[in-house]
Structure 1
Amino acid sequence: MRWTFRISFLLLLGWAIFMVSPFVALYDLSKAVQARDVARISERVNFNALRVSLARQILGEYLKTQDISERDRQLAAQAGATTLNPALEELVTPQALIDLLEDGQLQQIQPEGAAGPAISLDPGSLQQAWRIFILSESQGFRAITIPLTPDEPRDRQFRVTLRLSGTTWRLTGIDLPSSLQKALTKRAAVASK
């Protein structure tokens, strides 16, 4: 009976550590952003996956405005990813990520005062941390999407996706608010001409 209790306790403890670990990784990323520590940010971010995430959102926003069939939309998305790559290169850097995660805007894109909601990786209170934990969406055992602005409506939220890579949670995607998606879509359309 004692061994059953010990093993159950160890399994429960391991599960609790696993459930909290992405939030600890996000907190570590927030400290790296505050310190502007490019090396630590580079360890915590998968820039290739982040580029794909941003390209998907920008192309999705752009293709909503086009009157094309579903088959043509898929072909346009594949071609658009190649066209967008140069525009995304300047957005998917540690410095651009610091700009975005510090105040919710990209200084290269948005004029001062045109930002979406202010974001914070630091929950500030236990109640806010609990709310973020409850609203986060697990995608199996290896990925989780966490809302950074849980009090905002979904179309104004920043949501980050972390994926387990080995024993480290790494940022692989940022779901941008629709206003920022539209600004990036306009910029990409201008850059591709």
Structure 2
Amino acid sequence: MKWLVGIVAVLLLCLAVYAGLAFVSALDLVSAVRSSDAAQVMARTDLPRVRHSLVDQVVSAYLDRLGQKRPVRPLERMAISAIGTTIANDLAIKLMTPENLSALLKSGTVRDGAENITFGTMSSLAEFDISNIFVFAGRITLVKPVEFALRLGDSQDAGRVSMHLDGTTWKLSGIGLPPKVLANMVDRLPTR
């Protein structure tokens, strides 16, 4: 019986450390965004994962626009990656500059800084009430054991961010853009 209590206590302690690390990492990211510290935001971001999440969203929205409402299969994904720098990848790279990413998370404005094009807005991470742990916990969706998504608001146009466990810290690994923003981005792409 003592072994069972000990095992349960250790599991609860591990769960508390796991959740605590997620909360502290999210708090650090929000703090860096609020202070407009692009270097700290970039240090707390896994750029390849964020870029990949944006490319996936743009490609899926583009296929929807073309009338091919289906998920992108792994072989298609691999073909898109093998082609090299595609239009969606170029767009994601422009969105992922330190200044654009910092501005996106702080103001919620999705823009292409190189051409000064604004695609739309979403809820900002800087305005997220991280001090209330119950609001924070209520907006979390566990994607995988090492990744969670955080809804930035209640509406569909609020958007979300994803964080991935990287060693002992959680890093920004994805930005879920609202459908209106994705539609505006895809409208600027060629139809064929």
Give me the TM-score of the superposition, normalised by structure 2.
0.78
The 3 A distance-change label for structure 1 pair 67 and 181 is: closer
Distance in 2 of aligned mates of 1:47 and 1:105: 19
Distance in 2 of aligned mates of 1:141 and 1:68: 32
C-alpha contact (below 8 Å) 2:33/2:126 kept by paired residues: no
- The runs of 5 or more residues in structure 2 that have no matched partner are none
Partner of 1:44: 44
Tell me how far 1:36 sits from its aligned partner.
2.2
C-alpha contact (below 8 Å) 2:36/2:106 kept by paired residues: no
Distance in 1 of aligned mates of 2:165 and 2:69: 36
What value does the CA root-mean-square deviation take over the aligned residues? 3.3
Q: Which has the higher helix share?
A: 1
* Identity percentage of aligned residues: 28
- Aligned residue pairs total 184
Give the 3-state SS of the residue equivalent to 1:160 in structure 2.
strand
The letter for the 1-side match of 2:139 is L
Q: Which residue of 102, 121, 128 maps to 1:115?
A: 121
| C-alpha distance after superposition, 1:108-144 (max 9, x if no partner) | 4328xx5344554541653xx4133133111232111
The letter for the 1-side match of 2:98 is P
The letter for the 1-side match of 2:58 is I
Distance in 1 of aligned mates of 2:176 and 2:71: 25
- The runs of 5 or more residues in structure 1 that have no matched partner are none
Tell me how far 1:10 sits from its aligned partner.
4.5
Give the 3-state SS of the residue equivalent to 1:123 in structure 2.
coil
Tell me how far 1:55 sits from its aligned partner.
0.9
Q: Which has the higher strand share?
A: 2
Pairing 1:136-155 to 2, within 5 Å after superposition: 136-149=140-153, 151-152=154-155, 155=156
Partner of 1:101: 105
The 3 A distance-change label for structure 1 pair 23 and 174 is: same
Partner of 2:168: 167
Give me the TM-score of the superposition, normalised by structure 1.
0.77
| C-alpha distance after superposition, 1:146-165 (max 9, x if no partner) | 1111x22xx31311111111
The letter for the 2-side match of 1:54 is L
Partner of 1:35: 35
Distance in 2 of aligned mates of 1:42 and 1:50: 11
Deviates more, 1:94-103 or 1:72-81: 72-81
The letter for the 2-side match of 1:181 is L
C-alpha contact (below 8 Å) 1:162/1:173 kept by paired residues: yes
Tell me how far 1:75 sits from its aligned partner.
4.1
